[in-house]
Structure 1
Amino acid sequence: MSIPSYNKRFGAHLLGGKNTRFTLWAPDAERVDLEILSDGRLPMNKEQGGWFVLEAPCGAGTQYRYRIDDEISVADPASRSQVVGLHGPSMVVDPKTYQWQHPQWRGRPWHETVIYELHAGLLGGFHGVEAQLAELAELGVTAIELMPIGEFPGTRNWGYDGALPFAPESVYGSPDDLKHLIDTAHGHGLMVFLDVVYNHFGPDGNHLGRYAKAFFRHDEQTLWGDAIDFRHQEVRDFFIENALMWLQEYRFDGLRLDAVHAIGERGFLTELAQRVHAAVEPGRHVHLMLENEKNQTSLLEEGYVAQWNDDGHNVLHTLLTGEQQGYYADFHQGAAEKLALCLSEGLVFQGQIARQGQSEPCGEPSAHLPPSAFILFLQNHDQVGNRAFGERLVSLANADALRAATSLLLLSPMVPLLFMGEEWGTHRPFLYFTCHQSPELAEAVREGRRREFCRFEPFHDMSLCERIPDPNDEKTFTASQPDFQCCLDPKHGEWRALYHHLLGLRRREIIPRLPGTRALGADVLGKAAVVAHWRLGDSSLLRIELNLGDQAVALQEHHKHGRLLFASQDMEEFHEHQGKLPPRMARVYLVAPDEQR
């Protein structure tokens, strides 16, 4: 299969069987030498704009570094492969060696999407993920989403500390191993999405500030330090070329852009979407998704298909757990009204309300967008892993209420996302883990994380703060590994059966009707109860009644029509609640056009 062409300016690229072009943008370097491990140094040619270029007589498998001003030797920032990790040499890769088994794959339309977010390292690398694909396809998942895989320090990391975004993490497998995973997923009918980090580099292994200071702006800070300066075309090109590499060479079906609220130049996001869609072959489905705390919904009309719906998660979480610390405080008061707004219009924060700790309103109007523009979830890597002890919802919420919320998640017209292990109700935590070799950096991460939680009332007891797992301890990583054997336990089997059944209903009853769907509004039934309505594409009416509280709530007469698709508990147990929605219950109805009044 031929690889669709795109501009490949950064990094090392084969020109033929035995020649490679090396290109580095280093405007603050006076001299750059190419260090080929087997052949010594070759001086690179300095060109206009701060570029250093050299065509050398070497081919795939060549290991190399760049020597900057005869002071430091660094990996290629656009390295396609790091054989021995972040601090080792880069390697020239031939992207055409892999023989694709499913070259005709064109992806799937967005409305069919059911996402399963996973961490490749916890599953044993690319081969380990591949071993789970058949099971996930049978469950009803239609897309897996890999947490970031760019080369990071050490052997354990969430992936958001990456420093070489073009190189698949060497601990997980080779570039061809990653292609085999994607190819195999396509054979199972699964799309593969990748979480990419374009808002910062990790604290270890990035040397751009030494020879390309224009990559960063010191006058604008993010949570991770100096902001990336997207005012420079070279910086924009670096990341856009990265996106095109994943989509074209590796055949990923979509990208999730991490924390774009930390990207100061909105024009970069628009340009990225435009260039991606211009490069994709006609007839191929490629989906771009956002994480955006600013709720800039206008981006969803500029080439992005959906954004993660943190508002939806946060209000459901506070209803399920009663938690109101941190950002949950914004959703706890009037939670049912906020859930109704979310189900009616997509988001809660649309510019009319300021969040706690912020002086300005947050968000843009969202009611005009289709429900599929929002990715809904009850758990993800952030919402679980950024808890001090990484608890799953199954350990925090009433089981009946959680089943009811899961019914909403999997049968509403929003695009559902599951987090690995959720489908069998695992109690294993998902913790924050790292593998920093520098004792000083490891200590800073450990103490910084503990200080972060000590701001909250439950952790004012210092003995509890000291129990927060050390991210750099290997035991923190192993404690987060999935416990597949627990699926044999009947209780865990019941959770998996629930997900399997609901995703089967979604596939048969909801997905075929999703194109053209629009929300019709939602009514508040009680402190923790709502009923929401959507007009589906075939003019059917979808109604979801949800009560996460511990008291039955009254239903109006016009809420009693339609074919019952699903009830999260046995209806016969609630015969005394005639005309009411029982506690901790969800019911889902489909009303045909001729039944509507």
Structure 2
Amino acid sequence: MKRRHHMPFGTRIEPDGVRFYLWAPDAREMELCLYGPQGNRLRKMVKLADGFWECLAEEAHAGCRYSFRVDGDLHVPDPASRWQPEDVHGPSEIIDPQAFDWQDGEWKGRPWEEAVLYELHVGTFTEEGTFAAIEKKLDYLADLGVTAVELMPVADFPGSRNWGYDGVLHFAPDSRYGRPEDLKRLVQACHARGLMAFLDVVYNHFGPDGNYLHVYAKKFFTDKHQTPWGAGINYDDEHSEVVRDFFVHNALYWLEEYHFDGLRFDAVHAIKDDSERHFLYELAERVREEFQEQREIHLVLENDDNAARFLDRDKETGHARHFTAQWNDDIHHVLHTIATGEDGGYYADYADDPLNKLGRCLAQGFAFQGEASPYRQGEKRGEPSAHLPPLSFVSFIQNHDQVGNRAMGERITALASREQVRAVAALYLMAPSIPMLFMGEEWAAREPFYFFCDFEGELSEAVREGRRKEFAGFPQFADPKAREAIPDPTSHDTFAACILDWTAATAEQHEEMRDFYREALRTRRREITWRLAGMQGGSGGYELLGGRVLQASWMLGDSSRLEVIANLGPEPARIEEEPEGTFLFATHPDAAEDLPPWSVAWYLHGGEGS
């Protein structure tokens, strides 16, 4: 089976050569430069309407390298390049997407209720740091109970190491990780094991090194909006229709040409759009139109605004109208606060009455649904979410942000006891929302996950100093000498310290935690997952028993009731009577009316047997 996404940008292989398209409305002259063993050849490009340039090169073919020369001077890569063998400043390479022979034609995806996500960074997940190396770990992930592998961004970034959020060439998987066909083989290998494959994409900014669009397509950005990275991407100003199309096609490209099952959209609160129809709606609608009759596609947001409107469901079918789910930072923050006792930064919003906030997250989705946020100086945050089903939310106790944005990159197991971590993990792994693990979490990996990058010159120094200034306001880093202990994000050693030690995954001291995760996920699959389809909004509720014990329950899709009892404190607690349902899973299987410290127990009431 062959797959190719047709788009109005980049290269198109035709019977009589390769056709090149570039949007460069600010260029006076554009030339195509073809690189070859006999030397480089320049061909003039023809200016079309609306700022596009075109060129048909009969001698070009797959494997050729090329660039565009702007106004007889600067050579730039193709912004829609499918691969950059010499990094972001080098020439692009023509890739024939139809050269890859797909063998997963029967794959139609998996329903969202079956998702158990596993977020990983390609470069630090294995010693090799490649797409091919991930394939060797897929059997392990499937056995663990994972059903979906989520890759942090792979769009080409400068240098040899980066989280991926500094990508500048959105269609080119970074050459550090392998060739395009290596990524396709990884996706295909996931499907062969029944695993979905997700990709994190960044549509809110470009990285600071390697973005040449400012030179020849200034209208790609607009001063109408400012973001943490400077002028906003132009989603609502003059020529915004081309920019919107660029990113829509990028999403379609990954889903079609690479056969990904879903996308995670980074920090969409930073996508500024005042137009009548927000770009996010257009993007989701075009994806749904393209794939609704073919296979399951899942679109997941990261949105600090807690804008529940993007998660609305169809009243008749209950299916997501636009976006499938959102990463729920609220449930992370409150679980982290409960387990670690931290109350600095945004955790201050959750330190007051945390059990009630946790109950609200479990039963209704967001903790903040329009209430004032003390951390944000009283600014109101969020929208009502109780009408949404639990499947609208992705829950976690670790991810790349929540670990890596700490000064010292500590995982939760370095901040809380094993008993505390097991308790909060038991809550999020079994709840009706979608669970997401961060690589190595399941065996309590000791490696930190630092912020790292590979810039040069003044930019490198600016990032290094900026990282340390970022934490100057924290009491533990008020002393400049203390800030010097913060790892240098530009050092190779900082990156290397994050690489997972896979010998620890099977080591005896990590076996207990790994088995705990595996058993929780097996119980979820056996007793809960198949009951989640058809769950409605308003299906959950909670109460505090004696002020110290949290009880939450949900009406599942088959009319059974799932219940959890949790004592998330250091002292034993007692409830008046043990739940009457069938026992499913617990941190302390012998707990009944007497609840040990940091204990969680799950029960199922009614419904047909598994």
Note the C-alpha offset of 1:219. 3.3
1:261 aligns with 2:269: yes
Which residue among 479, 482, 503 is the counterpart of 2:497?
479
Q: Distance in 2 between matches of 1:554 and 1:569?
A: 14
1:585 aligns with 2:589: no
Which residue among 226, 230, 238 is the counterpart of 2:246?
238
Tell me the residue number matched to 2:3: 3
Note the C-alpha offset of 1:355. 4.6
Structure 1 residues 358 and 52 mapped into 2: Cα distance closer, same or farther (>3 Å)? farther
Tell me the residue number matched to 1:353: 372
Deviations 1:430-473 (A, max 9, x none): 1111111x221111111111111111112113222110000110
SS class of match (2:66): strand
Structure 1 residues 528 and 292 mapped into 2: Cα distance closer, same or farther (>3 Å)? farther
Tell me the residue number matched to 1:40: 41
Check conservation: 1:413, 1:517, Cα contact below 8 A: no
- Comparing 451-460 with 411-420, greater Cα deviation is found at 451-460
Deviations 1:260-286 (A, max 9, x none): 000012611000011111111614001
Which residue among 206, 210, 213 is the counterpart of 2:211?
206
Q: Distance in 2 between matches of 1:149 and 1:142?
A: 20
Structure 1 residues 507 and 28 mapped into 2: Cα distance closer, same or farther (>3 Å)? same
Q: Distance in 2 between matches of 1:359 and 1:324?
A: 17
SS class of match (1:81): coil
Tell me the residue number matched to 2:287: 276
Tell me the residue number matched to 1:399: 418
> 4+ runs of 1 displaced by more than 6 Å?
none
- Provide structure 1 residue ranges, at least 5 long, that are not aligned to the other structure: none
Check conservation: 1:108, 1:285, Cα contact below 8 A: yes
Note the C-alpha offset of 1:21. 1.2
Counterpart code for 2:565: E
Q: What does 1:253-402 align with in structure 2 at a 5 Å threshold?
A: 253-265=261-273, 267-280=278-291, 282-301=293-312, 302-358=321-377, 360-402=379-421
Structure 1 residues 284 and 331 mapped into 2: Cα distance closer, same or farther (>3 Å)? same
Counterpart code for 2:252: L
> Could you state the TM-score of these two structures normalised by the residue count of structure 2?
0.94
Structure 1 residues 391 and 420 mapped into 2: Cα distance closer, same or farther (>3 Å)? same
Counterpart code for 2:47: K
Q: Distance in 1 between matches of 2:492 and 2:134?
A: 21
Which residue among 95, 108, 126 is the counterpart of 2:131?
126
Q: Distance in 2 between matches of 1:593 and 1:87?
A: 60
Deviations 1:175-207 (A, max 9, x none): 101000000110000000000000000000001
Q: Say how many residue pairs are matched.
A: 586
Q: Distance in 2 between matches of 1:225 and 1:241?
A: 24
Check conservation: 1:114, 1:143, Cα contact below 8 A: yes
- Comparing 305-314 with 533-542, greater Cα deviation is found at 533-542
- Provide structure 2 residue ranges, at least 5 long, that are not aligned to the other structure: 313-320
Deviations 1:218-262 (A, max 9, x none): 232111111101121000000111111100000000000000000
Tell me the residue number matched to 2:315: none
Check conservation: 1:424, 1:493, Cα contact below 8 A: yes
Deviations 1:544-588 (A, max 9, x none): 11222112334244x6211111120242xx6xxx63432110001
Q: Distance in 2 between matches of 1:316 and 1:281?
A: 36
Which residue among 129, 142, 145 is the counterpart of 1:140?
145
Counterpart code for 1:412: A
Q: Distance in 1 between matches of 2:547 and 2:233?
A: 44
Structure 1 residues 422 and 54 mapped into 2: Cα distance closer, same or farther (>3 Å)? same
Tell me the residue number matched to 2:94: 92
Q: Distance in 2 between matches of 1:136 and 1:542?
A: 26
Check conservation: 2:339, 2:420, Cα contact below 8 A: yes
Q: Distance in 2 between matches of 1:379 and 1:489?
A: 22
Counterpart code for 2:603: Y
Tell me the residue number matched to 1:76: 78
Which residue among 426, 429, 433 is the counterpart of 2:445?
426
Check conservation: 2:349, 2:373, Cα contact below 8 A: no
Q: What does 1:25-64 align with in structure 2 at a 5 Å threshold?
A: 25-38=23-36, 39-57=40-58, 58-64=60-66
Check conservation: 2:2, 2:100, Cα contact below 8 A: no
Check conservation: 2:235, 2:241, Cα contact below 8 A: yes
Counterpart code for 1:353: A
Check conservation: 1:257, 1:291, Cα contact below 8 A: yes
Q: Distance in 2 between matches of 1:402 and 1:300?
A: 30
- Comparing 213-222 with 245-254, greater Cα deviation is found at 213-222
Check conservation: 2:348, 2:374, Cα contact below 8 A: no
Over the matched positions of the two proteins, sequence identity in percent amounts to 49
Aligned alpha-carbon RMSD (Å): 1.6
Q: Distance in 1 between matches of 2:138 and 2:506?
A: 19
Tell me the residue number matched to 1:521: 541
- Comparing 520-529 with 108-117, greater Cα deviation is found at 520-529
Structure 1 residues 209 and 497 mapped into 2: Cα distance closer, same or farther (>3 Å)? same
> Could you state the TM-score of these two structures normalised by the residue count of structure 1?
0.96
Deviations 1:322-350 (A, max 9, x none): 10111111111111111111111110111
Note the C-alpha offset of 1:217. 1.2
Check conservation: 2:162, 2:452, Cα contact below 8 A: yes
Note the C-alpha offset of 1:489. 2.4
Q: Distance in 2 between matches of 1:445 and 1:545?
A: 46
Check conservation: 2:364, 2:540, Cα contact below 8 A: no
- Comparing 389-398 with 178-187, greater Cα deviation is found at 389-398
SS class of match (1:116): strand
Deviations 1:93-134 (A, max 9, x none): 100111112221111000000000001111221011111101
Check conservation: 1:421, 1:482, Cα contact below 8 A: yes
SS class of match (2:199): strand
Q: Distance in 1 between matches of 2:23 and 2:446?
A: 47
Check conservation: 1:405, 1:546, Cα contact below 8 A: no
Structure 1 residues 171 and 593 mapped into 2: Cα distance closer, same or farther (>3 Å)? closer
Counterpart code for 1:64: Y
- Comparing 324-333 with 516-525, greater Cα deviation is found at 516-525
1:509 aligns with 2:514: no
Q: Distance in 1 between matches of 2:447 and 2:161?
A: 18
Tell me the residue number matched to 2:107: 105
Check conservation: 1:527, 1:549, Cα contact below 8 A: no
